Structure 1
Amino acid sequence: MALRRRTYSSGSDASDHFISINERPVDDISLEFFYRPHTITLLIVTISGLVYSAFTRDENESIQSNIQSGLLAMVFFFLIISVMAFPNGPFTRPHPAIWRIVFGLSILYMLLLLFILFQDYRTVRSMFEWFFPELKNFTIDMDKGEWGQKCDDLSFERLWQSIDFFCFAHFAGWAMKTLLVRHYGILWTISVMWEITEIAFSHLLPNFVECWWDAVILDVLLCNGLGIWAGMQFCHLMEMRYYNWESIKDIQTTTGKLKRAVLQFTPESWTAMRWLDPACTYMRFLAVSQLVIFWQLSELNTFFLKHIFEMPPSHPLVFMRIFLLGAMCAPTLRQYYSYVTDPRCKRVGTQCWVYGLCMCIETLICIKFGADIFQHTQIRNIIMWIFVQAFGSVLCVYICVTQHRWQRKRQVKMDDSIDDDSEVSTKVSPVIHKPPRKTVTLSTPENDEDSDDESEGPMKIPRKRKTIQLRRGTRIDQ
C-alpha cells in the first residue's frame, strides 16, 4: 500500500494561522457599506474618469507631460487592482484597502528596482533628472557639512547648534521603530551597531564622519535613547488597555461618533512581542540575529543610494522612499515575528517576502553603480565590520536570552516561596486562630412537627467546648 503524505487542508490550524497574518479577515463589521466589494460601481467610476481625462486633457503640452500622465494612470489602476485582488496582510485598521495599497506600492517599487538594475548609470541618472529637473544642477560635492571637525570643542552651545530638523526626524524614526520591534535589547543593539557601521564606512561616505560626542550623546543617548524610551512607554500603555470596540451606529452623541471615527486609525488590538524566550530554539536565536544584521543593511542602502545617485538629504524622493519603506516594515515585521516565534507558521508572509527582495535588489544596485566608490574600500574595515556585526548581534541575543532565563528562574523561586508560605499559614491557622465552639441552635421541619406537644421553641443542643492547650516547647509547624 502506498504511503500518503500528510498535507495541511484549508481548514487546518497551520493554514488558518498563516492566513491570519497574510490575509487577516475583518471581525465584527458594523458598517457593511465600507467592506462590500463595490466592483461594478468602481468599474463605472474608473471608466468615466478615463473618458473625461482622455477627451478633455490637452495632449499638445509636451511629451514629458504626456508620459508622466500615462505613468501616473498606470500606477493608479495598478493600485485599484491591488485593492481588489491583493491580500489584506496582518492588519485591518484603519481599513484593509490601505494595506493592500501598501502591498501594491511595494510591488511597484520592486519592479522599478528590477528595471534600474538592468540599466547603466547615465540612463538612471537621466530618469531622475527627467522627473526632477532640479537634480541637474546638483552634485554630491555640494552636500558638505562640518562633519568631524573641531571635536575637542565640546560645550553646551555647540551641542545646541548641532540640534536641527534631522535630530527630531531621528527621534521620530526611532520611536516608530520601537513601535514595530517592541524590545529594548534588540533596539539598543541596532542603535549601537549603527554607530559602528558609520565608523566602518566613513571612508566611503563623508557624512558618516562624526565626532565622538555627536555619535554618543546626540545619536545614541538623546535621539535614539529618547525615541526608544518614548516608544516603549507607548507600547506598555497600549498593552494595558482593554479593547472593547463599540459600533459607531450604537453611539448616540455626535462627539462620540467623531471620537470613534478617529479611533478607527488606532490598532484594533495590541500584541506584546516576545522575540526571545528562555526556552527558544537555536533557529529563533539565529533568526533574531539575522534581523539585526539585515536592519543595518537596509539602513545602509539609504545612504549609499543617496550618495551614488547624487541627491540632497532633503529631496522629496529620499523622503518618499523612507515613508514607503516605513509603511512596508509594519506588516513585514509582524509577519516575520509570527514566522520566527510560532512553530505553526511554516512560511513567511507575502509582504515580508517582497520586502526582503527589495532590500537585496537595492544592495545589488549600490554595488553595481557604486563601483567607483567601492574601489576605495578599505577591506580591513569591511571585514572588521562584518565580524563585529555578527558577533555583536549574536552576543546581544545571547545576553537577552540569558536575562530572560534568569528572570524566569527568579519568578519560579518567588512562586515556590509563596506556595511554601501559604502551606505554613494553612497549618498554623487552625491551631492559633480557631475560635472555641459555642452552643448551636438547630431548627428542622421534623422537629417542629414533633414539638407541638412538648415546647413551642426550637430545640437547643448543647455542645462541649474544645480547648487546645499548647505545651511549652511545642513547635507551631508541627
Structure 2
Amino acid sequence: MMILPTAAAALNGESRSYPHALDDVGGAAQTVLQQGINLVASLGDVDGDVMRKAEMISGAVIVVSLSVAYLPDHGVFTKPFKAAWRVMLGIALCYSFFLMYLLLNYDREEAIQFLGWLDPSLGKPLPEKNYADNCELWDTKNPKHLHNFLDRIDIFIACHLLGWMWKTIIIRDAALVWYLSILFEFIEISFRHLLPNFYECWWDSVLLDVLGCNALGIWLGMTVIRKLGLEDYDWGFPRGGWWSDHRKLLVFLFMTIFVELLDTTLFFIKFELWMPTSHWILVCRTFFWAFFAPPCTTELIKLLNGKLSTFPLYLVVGTITQCLELGLCIKYGRGVFHESMPSNIRKWWIVIWTIAIARVIQLRIGESRRTEKKSDSLHNGENASIPFMPEMIWILTIPLSKSQCPVEAGLLEWLAAVTVV
C-alpha cells in the first residue's frame, strides 16, 4: 500500500519542519484515511453507493487536513486555537468545490436526483405554505382572538432571533444591522412573486420580524458585545462618511450585498432543490456561515481601515463561495421561475443602484482630480515642503546623514520624517 511522504518520514525516524505545530495531524489523517479506504475496498462486497460516499468524505477530510497543515493562520482569530480557523477555511474550500461540482455538472433535475442519492428523504416536492392566507390580527369570530398571530410563533422564531443576535455580534454596528434587517423585508417584497414563503401579513413583517425578533436580537447582540468588551466596528454608517468616501461606500455596498445574499440564497436553494428548512444540509450551511463569516468580516473592516497586513484569504474564499451559491440559484431558477419582477419594484431597484454606482464613480473621479492637482502643484514647486515621493527622500537621507555636514543631514531627516507621517 502507498504511504504518504509525511508518514514515511515519520516511520524512518526523519525530522521534518512544518509551518504549524499541528501539521502532523494533517499527514497522519491522510495516511489513516487512505488505509481505511483501501481496507474497505479490499472487502469486495461493499455497496457501490457506500463506496462513492466514502470517497467523497475522504476527499473532504484530506482537503481539511491539508488546510490545517499548510494554510496560513487568521491574523486576529486565534481562540480556542489557531488550527480551528484553518479547519473552517478547509471546510469552506470543500463547500466551494461541492457547489462548483453541482454548478458545472448537473442541471436542476439532475441536482435533485443527486441530493436524493445523498439523502433518500430528499428529491420530493415540498408542500406550498403561504403565510398570508389570513391576515386578520384580531379575529372576533374565534375565541382566541390572536390565534393567527400565535400560530406564527414556533421554533423558527427563536432561530430568527438568535440569527440576528449573531449577525449583530459579527458586524458590531447596531445602525448597520438595523438597516440590513429592514432592507431584507423589502427584498422579501421584491421576490415574493417568485417565492410563496415571502408573502406575509403586515403584522408578521412589522411586529414579529422587525420590531420583534430583529429588535430583540440586535439588542441582545449589542448587550453581549458590551459585556464581553468586544471592539465596535466603524463601518461609516450613517454618520461616518460612508456617502463622502468612495472606499467606505464600496465596502458598505459590498457588505449589504454579502449579508443579504446569505439569507436570500438560502430561500432560493431550498425552494429550487426541494429541501425542507430543517434538513441537515441547510442546518450545516447555516452553521458554516455562522462561524466563517466572523473572520471574513474582520478582514473586511481591517481592509477598510488600512490595518490589514496580510492577504484577505478568508474574505476572498467567502466571496467566491457566495458567488457560487448565487450562480446555483440563477442556473436552477431558469426552469422554475417564469414571472418577472413587478415593474414598479424593478424601477425602484434600478434607481437605487444607479444612484449608488454614480456616487461611487463621482467620488472616485473627484479623488483622482484632487490627486492630480496635488501632483501638479508639487511638480511645479508650489509646495516643496511636501514631496510626492517620500521614499526618495529617505534614500537621499541615508548617504547625507553619514557625511561631514550634520546640518544638511539633520534637515533632510526631519523633512523625511514629516512627509512620511
Deviations 1:166-189 (A, max 9, x none): 000000101100100111111111
1:51 aligns with one of 29, 35, 51: 35
**Paired position in structure 2 for 1:299:** 263
Tell me the CA shift for residue 121 of structure 1: 2.2
Change (3 A) 1:100 1:347: closer
- Output the CA distance in 2 between the equivalents of 1:103 and 1:168: 28
User: Would you say how many aligned residue pairs link Structure 1 and Structure 2?
Assistant: 326
Distance of aligned partners of 1:385 and 1:163 in 2 relative to their CA distance in 1, 3 Å threshold:
farther
CA distance in 2, matches of 1:360, 1:44: 34
**Aligned with 2:72 (options 82, 87, 95):** 87
Unaligned runs of 5+ in 1: 1-34, 240-269, 395-478
Shift of 1:386: 2.3
My pick for the range that moved more, 114-123 or 298-307, is 114-123
**Residue 373 of structure 1 aligns with which residue?**
336
1:223 maps to what in 2?
213
| One-letter code aligned to 2:90 | G
AA at the equivalent of 1:378: M
CA positional deviation for 1:194: 0.6
Counterpart among 101, 111, 122 of residue 97 in structure 2: 111
Measured at CA, do residues 389 and 320 of structure 1 come closer, stay the same or move farther in structure 2, by a change above 3 Å? farther
1:173 counterpart = 2:163 = yes
Q: Deviations over 1:208-254 (max 9, x none)?
A: 00000000000111111100000001111122xxxxxxxxxxxxxxx
- 1:352 paired with 2:318, answer no
Percent sequence identity is: 26
Counterpart contact for 2:302–2:308, Cα < 8 Å = yes
Q: Which amino acid aligns with 2:117?
A: W
Aligned to 1:99: 85
Say whether the 8 Å CA contact 2:164–2:214 is kept in structure 1: yes
Distance 1:385 1:82, change over 3 A: farther
Q: TM-score, normalised by structure 2?
A: 0.71
The verdict on how the C-alpha distance between 1:103 and 1:198 changes in structure 2, with shifts beyond 3 A counting, is same
Larger radius of gyration: 1
> 3-state SS of the aligned residue for 1:372?
coil
Deviations 1:71-102 (A, max 9, x none): 11111121111101112223000111110011
Output the aligned Cα RMSD: 2.6
Partner of 2:46: 61
CA spacing shift, 1:179–1:344, aligned 2, 3 Å: closer
> Structure 2 regions of 5+ residues with no counterpart?
1-18, 139-144, 358-421
1:424 aligned residue: none
The one-letter amino acid paired with 1:324 is: F
Matches within 5 A, 1:270-419: 270-276=230-236, 278=240, 281-340=245-304, 342-345=305-308, 349-380=312-343, 383-384=346-347, 386-387=349-350, 390=353
Letter in structure 1 aligned against 2:319: G
Task: Please name the residue that 2:122 is paired with.
Answer: 135
Q: 1:40 to 1:162 in 2, by over 3 A?
A: closer
Is this contact kept in 1: 2:189–2:199, CA < 8 A?
Answer: yes
Q: What secondary structure does 1:314 align onto?
A: coil
TM-score, normalised to structure 1's length?
A: 0.63
Looking at structure 1, the residues matched to 356 and 154 of structure 2 have their Cα atoms a distance apart, in angstroms, of 31
1: CA distance, partners of 2:38 / 2:317: 34
State the secondary structure of the residue aligned to 1:151: coil
Match of 1:133, as an amino acid? P
Deviations 1:386-412, CA, capped at 9 Å, x for gaps = 247659999xxxxxxxxxxxxxxxxxx
Give the deviation of 1:202 after TM superposition.
0.7
Residues 1:210 and 2:194 aligned together: no
1:152 offset after TM fit, Å? 2.1
8 Å CA contact 1:292–1:393 kept in 2: the answer is no
Distance 2:223 2:352 in 1: 28
Contact 1:293 1:390 in 2 (8 A): no
